[in-house]
Amino acid sequence: MSGNIQQPKTYAQAGVDVEKADRFVHRLKALAARPEHAKLWKVSSGYAALYPTGPDSAVACTTDGVGTKLLVAMAMKKFDTVGIDLVAMCANDLICVGATPGCFLDYFATGKVEDLQADQIMKGIVEGCDQAGMILAGGETAEMPDLYQGDHFDLAGFAVGTVNRAALIDGENVAVGDVIVGVASSGIHSNGLSLARKVITAEDTFYRDLLTPTKIYCRPAAQLFEQYPGIVKGMAHITGGGWTNIGRINKSVGYDIDKPLPVPPIFDRLLKHVESVSEMYQTFNMGMGLTIVCKSGDAETICQAFNSLGFFAAQIGTVRDNFKGIKVTAGASTPPLEIQFSNKT
């Protein structure tokens, strides 16, 4: 609780008040509620909205941004990868409801369109769409002098996918004894950067790693949805809130992580300054960008689908009923850790 602005020890001290933002979202949901919301297919994870297009088909829609990872790109004057992050943040959300990514639209806002910067940003977005198997179908370039200063800009993305009733992932049939599969991240991805940027400054050898683009998990996921519909019982994209995202699969069980994936060194570097291991796991992905729950007999098929396409997936734990939350009961670089799910939706 030092309050030192240069070296915050928690995400809240870095200026991001997750609880206040949660309260805002709660008020917003009450304000926006309309009887017509009953039309939408229900998925409690909230990764995407499911708008029906037929009795057994829907489109999944989601939006996200890159967050303050953009400021790292600006500081390094390297703009060709944040577009990959933008697509990743949206596309990885789509697959968590079982949707196959279809098309992407971008919103690019800047004080002045500078050709070199804008072209590099778009190169990344197109690369991200290629990785996700989506087409870039539209977008908006907003030139807003006076709102964005210097070389500042912002990016928002919108992704649409298609999903059939048989492939829908709603987490409802997750059961005790099911297996937890983890898929490795490429590092920090696009979350917790408001804290990480203050701990790892430009002089740090890990600074460049802050810009490593987010892994896009769509190709193997879409392959699984097509070849084995229903094989995935639950899927969580590990984003803001770190491993608490696992609870979005289903909060009525416990997730016992007894063989975590290797934790990339950047997180050890961050841990030297961050207040606690618990804060780390509630802010960062800690080496796991995607979590999947399946029947124990299906874990190998799922791991194989990811590993054959160059990802690293492994069985990391089991679903239990003797607690509700996440327990990390083994792990080379961390002491045992327990996180309870909050009751907030």
Q: 269 — phi, psi (to 5°)? A: -60, -45
Residues 118-137 that bind a copy of itself (CB under 8 A): 118-119, 122-123, 125-126, 129-130, 135-137
Q: Scanning the structure block, which residue is given the tokens 């909050």?
A: 342
Contact call for residue 16 and a copy of itself (CB under 8 A): yes
What is the rounded distance in angstroms from the CA atom of residue 36 to the CA atom of residue 262? 45
Interface stretch with a copy of itself, choices 117-125, 219-227, 241-249, 271-279 (CB under 8 A): 117-125
Encoded tokens for 269: 């570097």
Cβ at position 118, least distance to a copy of itself in Å: 5
Cβ at position 50, least distance to a copy of itself in Å: 9
Contact call for residue 63 and a copy of itself (CB under 8 A): yes
Q: Please say which residue, 59 or 303, places its beta carbon nearer to a copy of itself.
A: 59
Cβ at position 277, least distance to a copy of itself in Å: 24
Instruction: Report helix angle 115-132 to 82-95, nearest 10.
Output: 30
Q: Please say which residue, 194 or 315, places its beta carbon nearer to a copy of itself.
A: 194
Contact call for residue 15 and a copy of itself (CB under 8 A): yes
Cβ at position 304, least distance to a copy of itself in Å: 27
Instruction: Tell me whether residue 335 is exposed, middle or buried, using C-beta atoms within 10 angstroms of its C-beta: 0 to 12, 13 to 18, 19 or more.
Output: exposed
Residue 297 vs residues 111, 170, 179, 252, 321: alpha-carbon distances, Å: 54, 20, 9, 22, 19
Contact call for residue 143 and a copy of itself (CB under 8 A): yes
Sign of the CA dihedral running 38, 43, 46, 50: negative
Q: Which of 39, 42, 77, 208 binds a copy of itself (CB under 8 A)?
A: 39
Contact call for residue 268 and a copy of itself (CB under 8 A): no
Interface stretch with a copy of itself, choices 22-30, 179-187, 226-234, 312-320 (CB under 8 A): 22-30
What is the rounded distance in angstroms from the CA atom of residue 29 to the CA atom of residue 32? 5
Q: Which of 46, 177, 262, 336 binds a copy of itself (CB under 8 A)?
A: 46
Sign of the CA dihedral running 333, 73, 310, 167: positive
Contact call for residue 310 and a copy of itself (CB under 8 A): no
Instruction: Tell me whether residue 6 is exposed, middle or buried, using C-beta atoms within 10 angstroms of its C-beta: 0 to 12, 13 to 18, 19 or more.
Output: exposed
Whats the size of the chain, residue-wise? Answer: 345
Beta partners for residue 169, in sequence order:
none
What is the rounded distance in angstroms from the CA atom of residue 182 to the CA atom of residue 329? 15
Q: Please say which residue, 138 or 177, places its beta carbon nearer to a copy of itself.
A: 138
62: CB partners within 8 A, 6+ apart: 47, 48, 49, 90, 93, 94, 158, 159
Q: Which of 9, 43, 45, 64 binds a copy of itself (CB under 8 A)?
A: 64
Contact call for residue 68 and a copy of itself (CB under 8 A): yes
Residues 74-103 that bind a copy of itself (CB under 8 A): 102-103
H or E element, residue 53: strand 49-54
Contact call for residue 274 and a copy of itself (CB under 8 A): no
Interface stretch with a copy of itself, choices 111-119, 220-228, 241-249, 274-282 (CB under 8 A): 111-119
Contact call for residue 202 and a copy of itself (CB under 8 A): no
Q: Please say which residue, 59 or 261, places its beta carbon nearer to a copy of itself.
A: 59
Residues 153-172 that bind a copy of itself (CB under 8 A): 154, 156, 158, 160, 162
Q: Which of 2, 4, 147, 177 binds a copy of itself (CB under 8 A)?
A: 147
